[in-house]
Structure 1
Amino acid sequence: MRSHVNQRHERVLDIVRRRGSLRVTELAEELGVSAVTVRRDVEALAEQGRLTRLHGSVSGPEQAPAASGSPARAARAEAAGPAAAPAGVVLGMVVPSMEHYFADLVRGARDAVTARGGRLVLGIAHWRSEEDTAQLGRMLDGGADGLLIQPSWERGVPSPEQEEQLLALRVPAVLVDRRVPLGGRLAGLDGVRSDHVLGGAAAVHHLAGLGHERIALLAQDNPTSPQVREGYEAAVRARGLAAPEPVTVDPEDPKGLDAAARKLYRAVTDDGVTAALVHNDQTAIGVVQRLRAHGLSLPDDVSLVAYEDEMAALADVPLTAVAPPRHAVGETAAELMLSRLAEGGGAAAPARHVSLVPRLNARASSAPPPRRC
């Protein structure tokens, strides 16, 4: 038994030597054992001084963070080489808001940065492009080593001036959860995003797999919506389904939800629609409440999939929902930046665009379509 444990310990050390720093969950997956077993192994090896356990991750002993400004930290950073992030790194992060969706992105970035002994500084632009500019300037003046930027682009597309601003930055930058327009000038920036096109398609494939042939789309008008709609339309075409006219919901209009719910009600009762994809959770819950007032119930009369999965499980009928990997996007963006900085800025290295695939969580709001008499 001890021989087996020793062999696993040597495998742990070999993986850490090859990969530098990685999360405990990643290590468990590579070893094919439980996270609990790996944590025990890591604790034992850390006590022997053979590796370093950080918050949720593990690295070689030479990569442990030291106090800011200490000679030991500088020596370790130099010895660690290109696989390790510079000691005491400061990353600036600009987001449009700190509502639910964005809070998870920020938490993911913060967890990755602090696990490696760095610091994340946050700026909130309140959906104003001029505030993006102000926050970026503040962070550059404050000495940020790199920037994680989720710009306040209208409908997710930058203006020429916004492109120019990002191209002129004097430190490395990673675009967070924004798709670089095809043919645009920002392809040279690193980027990490949720693939909302695949997320929209996943909702359609789920509903079509249950037997639905007429699936409606209700969506807010925001930077994510065009990608969700693109995925919805692509999956509808691939399945050979009929696509009702999409309904746009204005979240700022108090009457917007009422109008959207009435359109969906008529589509269900008059046009044979049996399911809907609704972006986002808040809109979906509001629409469901209004459908119930009109006498329709989920999933007996209509199935529904929400897009976002922040509050979908809390609805009266828990909503099936597509969950973009928000925390992982923030975490991956920070890790990409730390890797870029460890390469010395990496201007000559190719840009990296990382897309993470959303997950569909099936709940009570989706079922096979009702039988029509």
Structure 2
Amino acid sequence: MREPVDLRRRRILAVVESRGATRVSDLAAELAVSVVTIRRDVEELAREGSLRRGHGIARPMLPETEQTAQPADPPLDGGPVAVVVPERHAYLYEMLHGARATFEEAGIRIGLHIAPPAAGAEQPIVERALADGARGLLIAPRWRSRATEEADYAWLAGLSVPTVLMERRPRAGSALHAVDTVCTDHWYGVHLALDHLTGLGHRGVVLAARDDSPTARALRSAFAGIAAAHPGIDRWAVALSSASAVPDPDAAAAGQAVDLPSLLAELGATAALLHGDVDALMLVQKLRDSGVRVPEDCSAIAYDDVVAGLGSTPLTAVSPPKAEIGRAAAELLLRRLERGASSGPARRMEVMPDLKVRGSTQRVAPPLPSEAEAN
């Protein structure tokens, strides 16, 4: 039977008043409830003026000198948590909102740092944040190419503070393999999209995707594997969604964006999965300008769902759980800060996306009867 909230909070006060400063994690273990529950109780008790709270710790209202000395009391109050995300990246900014709410609930200030698009931009930003007293790091490096990704492995793995990677999954066996990570299961996102399209009778599908991020590379790999093995798909292709969606858009040999109407016609495809949202909206407009109607002639699914629903035809979209990933990443970092950077094995979490069905997909129209059939 669950203990009443008022009784649990009285027990928290009794423990803190008798022992002095007490870890939230110790209270949770002693009272047999979750850390999140105890954290909320402590926050409410602090709001009432019954105790004081710091990061991961509850303290009595009486001065510390009047309490029984507790040599093991942890010095958990400290500087902010550094959060590093790429410049102009709405997808990751939504994750930031989820992380911020979790840190605020724990009474921790965050220091937000925006990394410019230059390769290696994150390292000096992180080094400055740590020099200024950051006690933990939540980071989503841009990683336009595999080379820039692997160039960051060594210095990230050598950081002296707890670190969690957000929406990034380092190469297996790399120096970052044992660092905490929280990611969308992008394989499952592609599976949702293709399962929806094949369920509507589409047998030819094109992926028009970016090629300048870990998410883009994961989508391309997942699409090729699923489409090649799917019994409901007999025609498929992968193309570039935008000429600038490549690791080095300023290079002389920058990518060539797909002529999607021509590719669909050449392949005999009736559906497209488009990454990311802005490219998807622009490609849908190009289809319409070419006389290809969405969804009548081509069903379209966007991948990201940041602005996909705002088009003149709202786009069906795979929607990664962006705020939830931010919250989960923040919780992982809080766990490290409360229990120590080396407390237990690293965690590699995957969170499932879902599919938001809107107006851009429909069942394949049956073929018109031939003249002989009509007669």
> What is the TM-score normalised by the length of structure 1?
0.77
More helix by share: 1
- Mapped pair 1:269 → 2:257: no
* 2:354 aligned residue (350, 359, 363): 359
- Mapped pair 1:200 → 2:190: yes
Write the letter of the residue equivalent to 1:369: V
Q: How does 1:272-291 map to 2 (within 5 A)?
A: 272-291=268-287
Say how many residue pairs are matched. Answer: 331
Which residue in 1 is equivalent to 2:240? 248
* 2:35 aligned residue (5, 20, 27): 20
Shift of residue 9, structure 1, vs aligned partner: 7.0
Q: How does 1:61-72 map to 2 (within 5 A)?
A: 65=53, 72=60
Which residue in 2 is equivalent to 1:93? 83
Structure 2's unaligned 5+ residue stretches are 9-27, 369-375
Contact 1:90/1:145, CA 8 A, preserved across alignment: yes
Write the letter of the residue equivalent to 2:366: R
Shift of residue 372, structure 1, vs aligned partner: 2.5
- Cα 1:200–1:157 shift into 2, 3 Å: farther
Moved more, 240-249 or 319-328: 240-249
Equivalent residue of 1:65, what SS?
A: strand
* 1:368 aligned residue (341, 363, 370): 363
Distance 1:167 1:215 in 2: 40
Structure 1's unaligned 5+ residue stretches are 1-6, 25-45
Larger gyration radius, structure 1 or structure 2: 2
- Mapped pair 1:131 → 2:131: no
Contact 1:201/1:234, CA 8 A, preserved across alignment: no
Shift of residue 87, structure 1, vs aligned partner: 4.3
Contact 2:185/2:350, CA 8 A, preserved across alignment: yes
Which residue in 2 is equivalent to 1:39? none
Contact 2:120/2:152, CA 8 A, preserved across alignment: no
Distance 2:237 2:297 in 1: 20
What value does the CA root-mean-square deviation take over the aligned residues?
3.7
Which residue in 1 is equivalent to 2:297? 301
Contact 2:239/2:257, CA 8 A, preserved across alignment: no
Equivalent residue of 1:318, what SS?
A: coil
- Mapped pair 1:230 → 2:218: no
* 1:188 aligned residue (161, 174, 178): 178
Write the letter of the residue equivalent to 1:371: P
Shift of residue 213, structure 1, vs aligned partner: 0.8
- Cα 1:258–1:143 shift into 2, 3 Å: closer
Write the letter of the residue equivalent to 1:328: E
Shift of residue 190, structure 1, vs aligned partner: 0.8
Distance 2:135 2:105 in 1: 17
Equivalent residue of 2:237, what SS?
A: coil
Which residue in 2 is equivalent to 1:40? none
* 2:315 aligned residue (309, 314, 319): 319
Contact 2:206/2:238, CA 8 A, preserved across alignment: yes
Contact 1:128/1:152, CA 8 A, preserved across alignment: no
